[in-house]
Amino acid sequence: MALIACPECGRQGISDQAAACPACAYPLAPQAREPVGRGGRPQPVATVEQTGKRWKAMKVWAGLLFVGGLLVIFGNVRTPPSTAGIVFGVVVLLASFVLAVRAAIGAWWHHA
């Protein structure tokens, strides 16, 4: 158990187990206290994190596709080269570029 200060009226020495500030009745329940302190806005932060993860996942997929495309191309550059295999690799590479651009634009769009 620790003693905290009320974020609303600044009163010191309040138990962190207290449901509300004894001086101003400001709610101090853990779930209410965490996000509200210092004027933080919990909802937008959570939303940004979620969309951020979405675009990060998209970038990871783009990277995997890029590596996969390179592997397919190099795997088919031999004698005789497999044209269909190289074309498939190029298509996978292009898809990874499209996905990367889409993720970059999406992240920019949702953050700006």
Residues that bind Zn ion (CB under 5 A): 6, 8-9, 11, 21, 23-24, 26
Report the C-alpha gap between 23 and 14 in whole angstroms. Answer: 10
Residue 3 CB, nearest distance to Zn ion (Å)?
13
Residue 24 CB, nearest distance to Zn ion (Å)?
3
Report the C-alpha gap between 95 and 86 in whole angstroms. Answer: 14
**Which of residues 28 and 99 has its CB atom nearest to Zn ion in the complex?**
28
The length of the chain in residues reads: 112
**Which of residues 8 and 70 has its CB atom nearest to Zn ion in the complex?**
8
Residue 11 CB, nearest distance to Zn ion (Å)?
5
